[in-house]
Homo-oligomer: A and B are copies of this chain.
């Protein structure tokens, strides 16, 4: 029997990735545990997580992650069910979270899988969004770096995305005024109506960073105490002058730079001193287990209480992962971008 993987077969030649950077590759499934490594499992992946950081790894440039190897499966997080097991800790049918890559099946050491609970309140896919990397990213950036107090004003970019939507809700729970930034009127409506932000500005409806800054200033009459930055670039430049003394900026993503020919400069770095700002870049996968455990416990509690909302944009079929990924980079998603392979 065969299954499919998506390989990176070429690196983007310019700023933008394209469909021909990817290829579907057919592979043989192990017929039984007899042909599998000791203590390994075969997982049938149900959902693949697509994330903006993957674009950085497609290019062979210095970044926090090693470049994605060529002619090998694209890396990525998945959830799925164990299909074959010769590992004592997991049996066929168990739901697990893993670095399964862009693949319908993954064979890997059993201890590299994390068993997850799937029930009517918590679908399998939630472990890739609100309870997974995006949720923990939002939690760490908001609770550990922005540390909002009741009455603070917090701005969140890419507010309709998996990370931003969660980050903004956590700031609302802390008693803040929360203003989102998103691309398009539809997304802004979702951010306010479904995620409960106080306001959301459509950055695409502003012709210049200056206009965006003026709109944002109107929505933040007491200035900005925390900025959860998923995009960098012009939006960061628009937010900077509105930051209050001692404001914190959690630098979580830089979508604006991932497909740009060169980085957008920060126009007023002098504000770091004059407004006594703290800007901290972070990658959640590097945080210790303690941070993940604390975040996941709290997020599970909030999900169980139905206090925390999340959304998904689901593409069906692994062969459509490249298309869905390029759409994600253009902001085509609301909430977590997933590929379903069930």
Q: Which residues of A does B touch, CB under 8 Å?
A: 56, 62-64, 232, 236, 245, 251-254, 257, 263-283, 286
Give the residue name and chain of the B residue nearest to A253 (CB).
Answer: B273
Contacting pair A279 B279 (CB below 8 A): yes
CB distance from A284 to the nearest CB of B (A): 11
Q: Is the CB of A272 within 8 A of B281?
A: yes
Chain B residue nearest to A279 in the complex (CB): B279
Q: How many copies of the chain does the oligomer comprise?
A: 2
**Which of B56, B254, B274 touches A281 (beta carbons < 8 Å)?**
B274
Known: A263-B267, A266-B266. A272 touches B276 (CB 8 A): no
Query: Would A62 and B263 count as touching, CB distance under 8 A?
Result: no
Query: Which 9 pairs from chain A and chain B are nearest by CB?
Result: A265-B265, A266-B266, A266-B269, A273-B281, A272-B281, A263-B270, A278-B280, A63-B274, A276-B281
Choice from B62, B266, B267, B268 contacting A274 with Cβ under 8 Å: B62
Assembly CA distance A276 to B286 (angstroms): 10
Residues of B within 8 A of A277 (CB): 279-281
Instruction: Give the chain B neighbours of A276 by CB distance below 8 A.
Output: 64, 280-283, 286
Check A281 against B278 for contact (C-beta < 8 Å).
yes
Complex interface: chain B residues within 8 A of A266 (CB) = 265-266, 269
Residues A267 and B270 in contact, CB atoms below 8 Å apart:
no
7 A-B contacts (beta carbon < 8 Å): A64-B245, A254-B273, A257-B270, A263-B267, A265-B269, A266-B266, A279-B279
Task: Give the residues in chain B near A257, CB-CB below 8 Å.
Answer: 270
How near does chain B come to A36, taking the closest CB pair, in angstroms? 36
Contact B269 A252 (CB under 8 A): no
CA distance in complex: A269, B277 (Å): 14
Closest residue of B by beta carbon distance from A257: B270
Q: Which residues of B contact A273 (CB under 8 A)?
A: 64, 232, 251-254, 281, 283
Q: How far is the CB of A199 from chain B (nearest CB, A)?
A: 25
The residue from B56, B254, B274, B278 contacting A64, defined by CB atoms under 8 A apart: B274
CB distance from A256 to the nearest CB of B (A): 9
CB contact under 8 A between A279 and B278, given known A245-B64, A266-B266, A266-B269: yes
Chain B residue nearest to A62 (CB atoms) is B274
Q: How far is the CB of A277 from chain B (nearest CB, A)?
A: 5
Question: What chain B residues lie within 8 Å of A269 (beta carbons)?
Answer: 232, 236, 263-266, 269
Beyond contacts A251-B272, A265-B266, A278-B281: 4 other A-B pairs, Cβ-Cβ < 8 A, are: A56-B274, A64-B275, A265-B269, A266-B269
Q: Complex formed: what's the CA distance from A268 to B251 in Å?
A: 13
With a CB–CB cut-off of 8 A, which chain B residues contact A56?
A: 274
Determine how close the nearest CB of chain B comes to the CB of A167; give it in whole angstroms: 15
The chain B residue sitting closest to A145, CB to CB, is: B278
Distance, CA A257 to CA B273, complexed state (A): 11
Q: Look across to chain B and name the residue whose beta carbon is closest to the beta carbon of A256.
A: B270
Q: Within 8 Å CB of A267, what residues of B?
A: 263, 265
Given contacts A266-B269, A268-B263, contact A278 B275 (CB under 8 A): no
